[in-house]
Every structure is written in structure tokens, then in C-alpha cells.
Amino acid sequence: MTICFRLPRVVRHCLVLLGALLTVLCAIPARATVYDAELPPEMLHGPDLCAYAPCTDVLPQATRFSQRKGAPAYVEAWGKGADQHEKLLGYVFLSTDVVDIPAYSGKPVVTLIGMDRQGVITGVRVLKHSEPILLAGIPESALLKFIAQYVGRKGDAKLEIGHGDAATGAVGLDAISGATVTAIAENQVISRSAYEIGRQVGIFTTAERPPAHFTALNERLDWAKLAAEGSVGHLLVSAADVGVSDSGGPYMDLYFGYLNVPTIGNSILGEHGYQRLMEDLKPNEHAIFLIAKGQTSFKGSGFVRGGIYDRIQVRQDPVTFTFRDTDYLNLYRLEPKDVPEFKESAIFIIRSKDFNPAWPWQLTMLANKQDTEHGTKTYVHFDQQYWLADRYLEGGRPKVVQPEAAWKALWRNNALVGAAFVVVLGAAAFWYARRDKLVRASNRKRKPLISGPRTALWIISVGFFGFYLKAQPSITQIMTWFHSILHQWKWELFLSDPYIFTFWWFIIGTVFIWGRGLFCGWLCPFGSLQHLALKFGAIIGLKKYQRLLPKALHDKLKWIKYGVFFVLLGVSFYSMEMAEKLAEIEPFKTTFLVGVWNRTWPFWIFIGGILGLSMISERPYCKYICPMGAGLAIPSKFRLFGLKRKAECTTCHACAAGCGSHAIDKNGKIDQMECLLCLDCMVMYYDDHACPPLVKERKRRTNAGQALTPINDQGYFISLDSLRSTLKERRPAAEQESL
């Protein structure tokens, strides 16, 4: 059976107009030419980088480039010197060959970097990014202006986003307005790539590391104790991490450890096995063990005699250690009784004086990830750090300053402002939780305990949340959630914006407790801006023109926002790029992130039209277009607490007549999906001069000379019979006390 329905004519016309508006808005912004660009595999992994990458853009004097060399990879740039003889001018390298730092999109910004022989950066070129904020709203010129700051700076300079610090030698860089997270990630990408390549080719040097000396400890520990102190590392790669089916369990479940330390070696191999291993090892040789189970082998499927193991590497600072068949030893038996189940095991030998076990190192597993969204494969690696415990090293662990994750730096640097943000959110939730007392202390004509704090929150939301913190939640974040849940969830992606992350947890919690109204009606920056526009309209003399649309028309138009929500969500599964362009129907980015002054005239008309209508009608965008409001309205059906109703509400229309959200139907029922929790109906619920049933009862008692008792939680005067019964029960007790 086929079910068909026909949209009302006015809704169809509005959808057509919205479609036309979206077409104009999406056509105007300059397209970011490197957004999700298709880069040839040869550029990313082939030997001849500069045959596919514009290397002369980042080192213009060069006329010839070598093939990739080194680990991490770079190419040498050659050209004519002052004497017209060819000489080495510098180096060109691709950021993804050196570091794998995700930006706000969860994907790295692929950057080509040039550096001369003195370690000075000669050019930077972004080849591909997946940042939605740089797709529309913020022009590509902002990104070009940002990366231009690196040209002429040393690759080992301490570069920080924001203000520099003369005491520490930190050099400040201007961020990308509205895309701070992207700027921080790109700063790490460029700085760390230049430094690592500079160290590898000998431009930058580090202090010599003293050789490791192990303590005399020689204990026997079981597996659990070894794991607890970090002597056994664990690297778990789920099937989802590489885009394959999880029916066969994890892609790789691997344990590893360093065997040269007596306690660890004897505990894992037993005394005989450890003694034999140490007799075979030469100076500057180090043994690590691996055991694993999973859908693949850590030995790799394409291993041939004389080749290298292409799945496992060890990294320590810029140096990567790979293993050949001559570096492999069989591991037949492990001594601890509580060793986890495994399918394969091995000992690998690191043969290098550059490896120092006193410093931290990483075991790296390489894999090809299947991108289920685009049907392509990408080269990925998974790292797990390992560092010997203090007690095994004479003098303890050396002092090591490790690079901090970008999101951690953001949280730390914004702790004070973030605390103020949380305080405001907490205060709003606390105040609303006391709504029953607030509405009882108010009446229809005077409600300062509600209108005053709510107006203050609107001002704070617009000024502090919106323009200062740029913490305006958006439909793009909801789309990102869906895609992350279906494809790959990365907490770092969401933690990279502390205010948005905190705001969303607040929204999720309050939506399921009270519905969407606390956020949409009290705290949404753009929603608050509309309501302030309504108040401003009244101040400048437009109050007599302020009207709501007829309820019948409203009930048809309100469905548009749900259509917009599902269209955007559906399009995102076809093309996230297209969905992010269509999401320009949200004015949030233009208003708070980018600034109206940085956009073209269609955006001015769009924002101006919304705010102009808001001066004569309450929150038109929230009611009829906002896709994020629609997305929050759906889970609002499952809230724990709703607003109160009484039996007479089914025939009384007093609250409905004054409901600015048009959320009360002809039967007196409140539509919590549309309600913005202004609490006007709850004020009337207890107001014996506004609620018709209470007005009627008040007049009846007054005329009869009867007492006006308090109003109970159900919205009625406490009955006189109940009051008399209570007084009778209390009187004997009082008389008894007097005796």
C-alpha cells in the first residue's frame, strides 16, 4: 500500500522560496579550491613527490627535486647558486609524511612545506583540507594569510597562536578568526614537520642523550603487575578504526614490551630464555616482544624473504626503526600464567645506537583504512607510547617535554573563561529548576523574577556566548555526530572546541529533563538576538505593529523546519560538502563566527530580514526555519518534566491567546516540541487575577465572605473543607500542649 500526502500550498510555496534562497547563499561564497581535493596516491606515497605536488611554490629557486628519501620522508631541492653551479638549496616535505595531527574536521590538513639549508621556512601550501568552517563563511584568503606568517621563520622557532612570550622565546601568530581550532592544528602540523625534517637532515640538533643504565632490580612479576606498571604496552585497533566488519573481532589486539631490563625479560621469557637472548644481543641492540590476535597479522601479508615487515615499526622522536627478517626471532612460550589469549608472537631486534630505552618510544602499526563514506583507502597508523618505569632506570626517567594535544592546550588556556561559561549555564539551569517558586511569586502584569533574569541571559548569550566565545551550536555539529557514530568516533574532534563541547552536554541533559525550551528560549545566542530585537522594536515604537501569525497558519509553517532538518541530514549522507553549504540556511556562522561585514550582500539581506521580522513578530526564524531547533524538538518528546495543566485548560484559551510560541492548541494541550519555556502560562496557572477558573473561584469566595486559601500544586485554591479538617486536627494537639 502506498501512502501519499500533500503539503499545504503555503508550505510548498515557503519551501520553494527557501530553496531559492539556499541556491543564492550557496553560490555566493568563494569556494575553497582545496576543500576535500582529490590528491593522487603517488603524491601521498609515491617516490616522486614533486612530480605531483607544486614543490616550486614552496621553494621557488629550485629547478630540480630528488625522490623521497629518509624517514620521515623529504625531498632535496637543487638549483643554481650565485656561481651558476647547481647546489642543494633546501628541502621540501609533505606534512602527512611527518605527523598525523587532525584538525577540527577530524582529518589532517595536507600541507606542503619548503625549508632552506639554514632551517628557514621558504613557503607553505595547503593542498587539501576538510574543514567545514573554511568551506563557506571564512574565505580561503584567511587561510592563506595565516600560513603566510610562517615564511621567513626558523623551523625550530617556538610558534604559538595568540600572544608571544619574550620570557620563553615564544613567537605569537595571528589566528584565523572564527577557526581557532584549525589554526592551532595547522600550527602544530607546520612547526613539528619543519622541526623533525630539520633534525633529520642535521640543521637542528638536540642535546646528546646519556645512555640508559638499568638498576639491579631482578624481580619476577606476573602479567597483571607488568601491565599495571606499564612494562607491557597494549595497542588495540578496532575493526571500525580501519573501516572493516567487526564480525571477526578487533582488527588487532596487540601487547608488547622491552626485554633488555632484567625484571621484564626474566618475567616474560623465564631465566633460561632471557639469558640466552642477552647472550645473542650485541651492543646497541634491543629486544621487544609482541603477542597479538585479531583479523590481521602484525607480520603483514606481503612479507617476502629479505624484505621488511610493513605492519610494525618503532618510532623514537624523528627516527623510525623498521624490521627485516634478520631482526625476527621466534617466541614460543611466555612465562606468566596470566598471559592473555594470543594467536601469534615474536621478538624483534632494534639494531641502532640511535635508540635509547630511557626515553619514551612508540610502537606503530600501519594499515590501509577503508573509507566507507567515499569507498577509498587511506594510509593510517596507530601508535602506542611505551616508557620504562622509574625504578628500572638509574636516576629515574629523564625529564622529557612532550608535545601537548591541541585540545588539551585549548582547555587549559581557556580554563578561567570556561569556568565562567559553566557558571552561567549552571545558574540558568538552577534558576529554571526553581520555576514553581518563581511563577508563584509573579503575576500576569509583573514577573521580575522571570523576565529580569531571562533578559539578562539573552544579553549574556548574545554578547558572551555568541560574539565573544563564538559558542553557537549548529546543525553541522548534529550532522557530524551522526557521521561519527556511523563511521568513526573521535573524542578529540569534539573536545577541540571546549565551549561547544560543554554547551552540547548541557543541551543534551536539559533537553531530556525539561525539553528544548531552556536552550532555545533562554540561552541560544541567535534566538536571544531575535528576542532582543523584539524588545528593541517595542522601544522604538513598533509595539503596535507586533503580531503573531494566525495559529492556523503557524501550525502549517512550523513543519518547514523539520523538513529542512531532514533534508540537511539526508544530503549529508550523500555529500557532507553539499550539506555544509546548504547549512548556510543557518545565520549563526554569518552572525557570530564570520561577521556580517565579511559576507556578501545576500547574507546581509538574509540576516537583516530575520532581525527585521523579529522586531514585529516573536522569533520567526526559531519557529519556522531553524533545523537545529527541529533536531532538538524530536528528543524533547521524551523529556522527564513538562509544564502543568488543569482540567479547565481543555476549554479555556486564556494561556493560548498569550503564548508567543503558539505552543498551546485549542484543547489546551502544550506542544513541548514547540514550547520555548517562557513560563507565561505557568504564571497564569497560579494567578487568581488572570487564570479564569481561579478568577471565578476568587470572586465566588469574596462575594460569599469566605477566606482565600493558598493555591495548591494542581493550580486550585485549597478547599475550605480541607482547611477546616486540618485545623481540627491541629487544635487538640495545641490544647494538649497548653495543659
**Model confidence pLDDT, tens digit, residues 462-518:** 999 999 999 999 998 888 888 777 766 777 778 888 999 999 999 999 999 999 999
Do 471 and 525 touch, CB atoms closer than 8 A?
yes
Q: Are residues 446 and 595 in the same domain?
A: yes
Q: How distant, in Å, are the alpha carbons of 267, 626, 677 from that of 670? A: 68, 20, 10
Q: Are residues 386 and 419 in the same domain?
A: no
Task: Please name the residues in contact with 674: beta carbons below 8 A apart, sequence gap of 6 or more.
Answer: 558, 623, 633, 661, 662, 663
Burial code (b: 16+ CB inside 10 Å, e: under 16) for 53-75 equals bebbebbeebeebbebebbbbbb
Task: Please name the residues in contact with 24: beta carbons below 8 A apart, sequence gap of 6 or more.
Answer: 602
Q: Are residues 581 and 681 in the same domain?
A: yes
pLDDT at 557: 94
Task: Please name the residues in contact with 38: beta carbons below 8 A apart, sequence gap of 6 or more.
Answer: none
Q: Are residues 99 and 54 in the same domain?
A: yes
Closest CA to 498 of 416, 594, 429: 416
Q: Are residues 382 and 417 in the same domain?
A: no
Q: Are residues 294 and 426 in the same domain?
A: no
**What is the rounded distance in angstroms from the CA atom of residue 444 to the CA atom of residue 683?**
6
* Residue where the block lists cell 506542544: 671
- The total of other beta-carbon atoms located within 10 Å of residue 726's CB is 11
Question: Is residue 59, in this structure, part of any structural domain at all?
Answer: yes
The β-bridge partners of 170 are: 165
Do 129 and 181 touch, CB atoms closer than 8 A?
no
Q: Are residues 100 and 233 in the same domain?
A: no
* DSSP calls for 41-102: HHHHHSS-GGGTS-HHHHSTT--EE---BTTTTBEEEEEE-TTS-EEEEEEEEEHHHH---B
Task: Please name the residues in contact with 537: beta carbons below 8 A apart, sequence gap of 6 or more.
Answer: 543, 545, 546, 614, 615, 616
Question: Is residue 647, in this structure, part of any structural domain at all?
Answer: yes
Q: Give the sign of the dihedral formed by CA 403, CA 409, CA 413, CA 416.
A: negative
Closest CA to 673 of 568, 552, 558: 558
End-to-end C-alpha distance for the chain, whole angstroms? 83
- Grid cell in block for residue 608: 537583516
pLDDT at 240: 80
Q: How many independent structural domains does the chain possess?
A: 4
User: In a 10 Å sphere around its CB, with 0-12 CB exposed, 13-18 middle and 19+ buried, how is residue 23 labelled?
Assistant: exposed
Angle at 614 between CA 469 and CA 556, to 5 degrees: 110
**360, 392, 424 — which closes off a domain?**
392
Question: Is residue 612, in this structure, part of any structural domain at all?
Answer: yes
**What is the rounded distance in angstroms from the CA atom of residue 443 to the CA atom of residue 212?**
77
- Output the pTM of the full model: 0.69
Do 197 and 74 touch, CB atoms closer than 8 A?
yes
Q: Are residues 442 and 591 in the same domain?
A: yes
Q: Which residues of the chain have pLDDT under 50?
A: 1-7, 11, 24-25, 27-32, 739
Q: Are residues 356 and 417 in the same domain?
A: no
- The total of other beta-carbon atoms located within 10 Å of residue 420's CB is 12
Q: Are residues 412 and 372 in the same domain?
A: no
- Is omega for the bond preceding 41 within 30 degrees of 0, making it cis? no
- The total of other beta-carbon atoms located within 10 Å of residue 283's CB is 5
Q: Are residues 385 and 283 in the same domain?
A: yes
Q: Which amino acid is at 671?
A: D
Q: Are residues 227 and 195 in the same domain?
A: no
- Grid cell in block for residue 648: 479547565
**What is the rounded distance in angstroms from the CA atom of residue 511 to the CA atom of residue 473?**
14
Query: What phi and psi, each to the nearest 5 degrees, are found at residue 53?
Result: -110, 145
Q: Can you give the residue range of the structural domain that contains 295? A: 223-392
Closest CA to 653 of 688, 681, 695: 681
Do 616 and 544 touch, CB atoms closer than 8 A?
no
pLDDT at 121: 95
Do 557 and 17 touch, CB atoms closer than 8 A?
no
Question: Is residue 539, in this structure, part of any structural domain at all?
Answer: yes
Question: Is residue 349, in this structure, part of any structural domain at all?
Answer: yes
**What is the rounded distance in angstroms from the CA atom of residue 98 to the CA atom of residue 120?**
18
Question: Is residue 697, in this structure, part of any structural domain at all?
Answer: no
Q: Which amino acid is at 189?
A: V
Question: Is residue 27, in this structure, part of any structural domain at all?
Answer: no
Question: Is residue 628, in this structure, part of any structural domain at all?
Answer: yes
Task: Please name the residues in contact with 6: beta carbons below 8 A apart, sequence gap of 6 or more.
Answer: none
Query: What phi and psi, each to the nearest 5 degrees, are found at residue 514?
Result: -120, -5
